[in-house]
Amino acid sequence: MIKIITIEREYGCGGAEIARKLAERLGWKLWDQSLTCEIARLAHCHQSAVEEREERLDPLYYRLMKSFWRGSYEGSANVDPLEMLDADSIVRISERVVMQAARSGNCVIVGRGSQHFLQDRADTLRFFLYAPSEEKILRLTAQGNRQQQAEYLVNSVDRERAAFIRTYFHADWPNRAVYHAMLNTATGDDAVIRAMLGFMETESAKRAA
């Protein structure tokens, strides 16, 4: 029985909206912004601080400051917990939250390394969503981004995600072997959701046999 679906996505391909619609269709809990909120709660910091740092590496200046803080008892003792939030701690907390969500089951989890954290679970389907660059830029401009900004985001965010996955999971991004299917969202949200539900039905029947 499939109880968990993870969705990794290229930036701008509509993955968050598709995940939301899929969760609604199934009547399952969506772990996307709520996952960020829970990470922030456990890290005792503002949600915006997690949003700025999740699924990306710490910038060079931050890594240098972190080394300084950790090398100085006085510095680390007086540093605000918000300032000590880094990629390492976010990954540790993310794994904890993802595993907790998986134990509850009946959920759709978006990104945050969930496809790797849960790759050995038999009750999980893992999808990767992508789209041509022009399609992603169209989606982003429709959301109010200017053309130049949309083009920049499409290129830069996915580079950061690739570096994050390479560093923390020692895998390429996308790591094709970990997914049950890779779907092009240019076919439309409804078509992608139908394909996911079809995979879910097939896999559930196969595992029940």
Given this model, what pLDDT does residue 76 score?
44
* CB-CB contact of 52 with 46 (8 Å): no
Q: How confident is the model at residue 79 (pLDDT cuts 50, 70, 90)?
A: very low
Average pLDDT, the chain: 88
Distance between CA atoms of residues 59 and 164, nearest Å: 12
- Is the separation of the CB atoms in 94 and 42 below 8 Å? no
The 10s digit of each residue's pLDDT in 137-192 is: 999 999 999 999 999 999 999 999 999 999 999 999 999 999 999 999 999 999 99
Structural fold of domain 4-208:
Rossmann fold (3.40.50)
Q: Which pair of structure tokens corresponds to residue 137?
A: 């830029």
The dihedral built from the CA positions of residue 183, 58, 97 and 29, taken in this order, carries a sign that is negative
Query: What pTM does this model have?
Result: 0.87
Cα–Cα distance for residue pair 36/16, rounded to 1 Å: 13
pLDDT at 80 over 70: no
Asked if the model's pLDDT at residue 84 lies above 90, the reply is no
Which range is least confidently modeled, 7-16, 66-75, 98-107?
66-75
| Per-residue model confidence as pLDDT tens digits over 8-31 | 999 999 999 999 999 999 999 999
Task: Supply the pLDDT for residue 59.
Answer: 58
